[in-house]
Amino acid sequence: MLNSLLKPYAELTAAAADITAMAELADEDAAFEAELEPALVAAEQRYEAFELQAMMSGKHDAHSANVSIKPGAGGTDACDWANMLFRAYKMWAAQHGFDVPKDEIDIESNLEAGIQGVTFKVVGPYAYGYLQSEIGVHRLVRMSPFGSGDTRQTSFAAVDVLPELPDDIEIVLKDTDYEVQTFSTGGPGGQHVNKTQSGVRLIHKSGIRAECRMGRSQHKNKAEALRMLQARLEAVEEQKRMGDTVKAYDSKGEIAFGSQIRSYVMQPYTLVREEREGIDVKTPAINDVLDGDFDQFMHAFLRHKTAKANKTKKV
């Protein structure tokens, strides 16, 4: 992971040297000015990317990520909204060179439309560092395609993101620290009933839980659920250390009104607006966001988190 930080630094240093040389040439020959401007723009973009990466100094920020999306209030619209977010995050991952392995997608379809839930991996350096900004409830306002079409529908979906821990990490959890529940799982897309109790849910004594139903083996699902539980506990502790505990839902754990971190409005106007205090970001380009353009929201979150952490250290 150290190389993923050192390499961009070396490239940025080399770009700065090239620009200095080009500027000297432009002073002697104005013809070189046309080459200098695009080089400056490219270097500025590279510097911004490096700056953001340097902000991701958390213990697990450089790791890959496990992402879960679950519909909340809103019925079929919420299930469809969860699926829209799933598509958007896959597009964001592809645009930024991350991999979403198809064989590690655990998805449960909804009978009418959308999904009842999905868990997937986003593989690549700093995937968790970026995606941690998405933890919480996302609110959609639109004319429902499943209703009469004359009223606006508000629906909700919750996004949870966990760091992918290394294979050699020691999971320090005793059997007495959590409760084990097993359940039947569906087949591809959740459409075929599997009568074996292969799904595993672990509930920590703190109330934090994790579950896995991706594999056919209960043993493998328990091992993966245990890794996810450890990752969730690690993430909570890291947030406490950074003084930035994420409030994913409201006090009752409801995925509904009053708990959203971001609103996506499609009617009567288009607007995506950050709802968290201290992060002032909004854009009317909702279609771009739903096609994976989350960068301005992720970047603003990272800057806010870094400023908050630095302020806490000074106090």
> pLDDT grade, residue 65 (50/70/90)?
very high
Q: Which of 132, 140, 139 is nearest to 160 (CA)?
A: 132
Would you state the pLDDT for residue 69?
95
Measure the CA–CA gap between 82 and 114, rounded to whole angstroms. Answer: 7
Q: What is the pLDDT of residues 10-24, one digit of tens each?
A: 776 777 777 777 777
- Is residue 213 classed as helix, strand or coil in its secondary structure? coil
Closest CA to 275 of 155, 134, 144: 134
> Once rounded to an integer, what is the mean pLDDT over residues 211-218?
75
DSSP state of 193: B
3-state helix, strand, coil in the chain (%, to 5): 45, 25, 35
Query: Exposure pattern of 289-314 as b/e (b: 16+ CB <10 Å)?
Result: bbebbbebbbbbbbebbbeebeeeee
CATH of domain 65-163+234-314: 3.30.70.1660
Identify residue 176 by its one-letter amino acid code. Answer: T
Question: Could you tell me which residues are beta bridge partners of residue 161?
Answer: 67
Position of tokens 């870094």? 306
Q: Any idea which of 113-117, 194-198, 217-221 has the lowest mean pLDDT? A: 194-198
pLDDT digits (tens, 9 = 90+) for 26-60: 777 676 677 777 777 776 666 677 777 778 877 78
Look at residue 170 in the predicted model and tell me its pLDDT: 60
Who has greater pLDDT, 189 or 133? 133
pTM for this prediction:
0.75
Cis peptide before 268, with omega less than 30 degrees from 0?
yes
Confidence of residue 64 (pLDDT cuts 50, 70, 90): very high
Tokens 């097993």 — which residue?
182
Task: Identify the pLDDT of residue 229.
Answer: 83
Dist. CA 31–CA 230, nearest whole Å: 59
CB neighbours of 62 closer than 8 A, spacing ≥ 6? 1, 4, 5, 56, 125, 126, 128, 129
Contact call for residues 251 and 207 (beta carbons, < 8 A): no
pLDDT of residue 169: 64
How far is the CA of 282 from the CAs of 48, 107, 253, 294, in angstroms?
A: 20, 30, 26, 11
Judged against a pLDDT cut of 70, whether residue 296 lies above it is answered with yes
Rounded percentage of the chain residues whose pLDDT exceeds 90: 36
Confidence (pLDDT) at 104: 77
Q: Counting Cβ atoms within 10 Å, is residue 84 exposed (0-12), middle (13-18) or buried (19+)?
A: buried
CA distance 180 to 219: 12
**Mean predicted confidence (pLDDT) in 112-122:** 92
Q: What is the pLDDT of residue 206?
A: 79
Q: How confident is the model at residue 252 (pLDDT cuts 50, 70, 90)?
A: very low
